[in-house]
Amino acid sequence: MTDSVPTTNNTYVAYSDGLERIPPDEEELIAKIVEALRRNNERSFEKHQHAIRDAHSKSHGILRGELTVYPDLPEHLRQGLFATPATYPVIARLSTTAGEIRSDQVHGVRGIAIKVLGVSGPRALNDNHNASQDFIMVNSTTFPSADVRAYAKSMGFASALAQTPDAVLKVNNVVLRGVARVARPLGVELPAPVALFARPNNYLLGETYHSASPLRYGKYVAKISVWPLSDSVTRLTGQRVPLGYDAHTKAVADFFRSNSAEYEVRAQLCTDPAVMSIDDATVDWPEDLSPHQPVAKITFPAQGAYSPARRVYGDDKLSFNSWNGLADHRPLGGINRLKIRVYEASSEFRHRMNNVKRIEPTDISELPD
């Protein structure tokens, strides 16, 4: 921590605009990345004759639920959305983060996007007509690229990966899991981007999801995570999903046909930016320096999680963007500055090519059954 970084009670780092370091060539790099991803979007459209997201393209469930902010939180946790005890309706989309529609037997990163409705307050962007807060999370504590420059360097690999057949990727998963098993007793860790594909193919509903990169947390800075809470989902943690092309989608639909689920929202506040980096998204924040502290609960009742109407609504009409939300939860770091441009470009292309009007829901009744 530098002397210029203020803290509160010598514990939690206070938010300030000076926490971020913006490289002079970042805007130029972002423009090149957006153009490269547009070409990927065009290739996907030619393949599917339908525009899909350039990340998180395959969904596994569109859920209706409620987020309840816990009462009696300490001051450092009573920030932004979590400042006052309240219950908000939410829409959540479970997904695989690849920019291609693949078999669920291809291992990789899984995600959840959560849209909290009825949220009031100053906005991160000039979109005061919106009244929602989006949190986009993955089942990894970090992002594969440190910053915009590193992401730009990885574009060639990512493009090749998007065009690799499922069968080849499945073989790679098997090989990488074997390498990881051999390397682990020797104290050797696979590089983070590679290790993601060596992970077991576990049930989505038993996973823990993380913002991976930091965001403003009112007066402070934090990473946000969502953890399985009820027995119905904690028992799925670490359990392998069955075989099948749409195994995750089927498992989610089967589960919610007769089960409810509870998850806990937790905040990990930054205590030392020299160790808990704001700008390098590959850095894991040590839990011994700052534990994940509970702030709210999300409840999903039993429901039809993936009806045709919900699939169309979630995949074609809705957009999720971590910048759609309160100024108190403004995303931080270069990867998030990249996302604001990438997500908007992808959404604009998808809705325009599919001739579907983009919507921002204001009431949970807009989500089809």
Q: Output the pLDDT for position 7.
A: 40
* 152 located within any domain: yes
* 1 located within any domain: no
* 250 located within any domain: yes
CA distances from residue 366 to 64, 147, 359, 369 in whole angstroms, order as listed = 11, 37, 10, 9
193: domain CATH number? 2.40.180.10
Q: Output the pLDDT for position 304.
A: 97
* 2 located within any domain: no
d(C-alpha 165, C-alpha 168), whole Å: 6
Q: Are 81 and 118 in contact (CB under 8 A)?
A: no
Q: Output the pLDDT for position 99.
A: 83
Q: Output the pLDDT for position 5.
A: 40
d(C-alpha 52, C-alpha 34), whole Å: 15
Structural domain including 202 reads: 7-366
- Give pTM, 2 decimals: 0.90
Please count the CA atoms within 13 angstroms of the CA of 260 that sit on its side-chain side: 8
Q: Output the pLDDT for position 160.
A: 54
* 236 located within any domain: yes
* 84 located within any domain: yes
* 129 located within any domain: yes
Domain count, the chain: 1
* 63 located within any domain: yes
Structure tokens at 64: 């209706």
Compute mean pLDDT per 10 residues along the chain, 369 residues long, and list them.
41 93 93 89 90 92 98 96 98 92 88 97 87 96 92 70 61 58 64 69 96 97 98 97 94 98 98 95 94 98 96 95 96 94 92 93 95
β-pairing verdict for 215-217 and 7-8: unpaired
Residues across the chain: 369
